[in-house]
Amino acid sequence: MASSSSSSSSSSSSSSSWEHDVFLCFRGEDTREGFTGHLYQALSVHYGIKTFMDDQLPKGRDISELFERIERSRISIVIFSPNFASSRWCMDELAKIIECKDRDARHEVLPVFYKVAPTELRGPKGKTAEHLAKLSSRDAEMLSRWQLALEEFSNLRGWTFMQGVESGLIEQIADDVRSKVDHVSLDLRVDDHDDEKNSLQVTKHATDGDEPTCTKFVRAIGLVYALCFVTMFTKQDLHLGYWEEGESGESCGGCEGIDPKSRFGKTPGGLSRGWIDSNCVESPTTSA
């Protein structure tokens, strides 16, 4: 029970540290004014989902601050466009996102292959391979990390858009993200409710354990007196016997002189008439 409570508390605490629901990773010159900009509007404005876009970061800040935003985001949406791999900034973000996913299974990564086939990232091949070759000439140490990130990213389930109406795809993505965010919010409410119940149980046990000795003594004395009271009236009822009203209205049995109303229903000791009838022995009748 304790371990379950601890796990729930840890999960709730970690989840509540998410500052953003969604982090958008994209190549600005490819999609900022088009697809990514419209997706941001759908998520943030239309659905009210807390979405981070890099233009919210003041100019001149280090990329490490973007890494912190990624870590504090529940979902990362990566829009991989034709010139994505030409930017070291984008490739570093992608590597960080894959790292967060591998470290914490709750961090979801949703790929959007925008006018790029997923197979181009495996190897890589085509234009993506050309971009990586140029980047590696300036930073060969990062090449293997970028390649691994591309390989893993290309195998994730996502959306591929080559041509057509973008608004339909944007609506699909926004609906999917909303359902994921709503599900997480429900889980947190359940976790909080469980934590509250566990807290109440701990408080109750603590209160029971701290009951003063004098209180226990008074309670025991009261119980003894109650038992004596019930026993006294029970003996009185057994001595009086039982009463039944005959057709003539006169009493019969062993209860002459007893008011019928006092014996009908509940007895002074709280015992029912049925109990008395089944437990009292009828007094023998005398022959005339």
pLDDT at residue 115 in the model: 98
**The 3-state secondary structure of 54-80, one letter per residue:** HHHCCCCCCHHHHHHHHHCEEEEEEEE
Q: What is the value of pTM for the model shown?
A: 0.61
Report CA 35 to chain centroid distance, whole Å: 34
pLDDT band of 25, cuts 50, 70, 90: very high
Mean pLDDT of 218-226: 58
Average pLDDT over residues 70-96: 97
- The pLDDT of residue 86: 96
Whether the Cβ atoms of residue 131 and residue 150 lie closer than 8 Å to each other: no
Asked if the model's pLDDT at residue 156 lies above 70, the reply is yes
**What would the pLDDT profile of 120-150 be if each residue is shown by its tens digit?**
999 999 999 999 999 988 888 899 999 999 9
3 pLDDT above the threshold of 60? no
Domain ranges of the chain: 2-191, 213-279
Whether the ω angle into residue 124 lies within 30 degrees of 0, i.e. cis, is yes
Average pLDDT over residues 76-103: 97
Round the average pLDDT of the chain to a whole number and report it: 74
Architecture of the CATH domain 2-191: 3-Layer(aba) Sandwich (3.40)
- The set of catalytic residues is 93
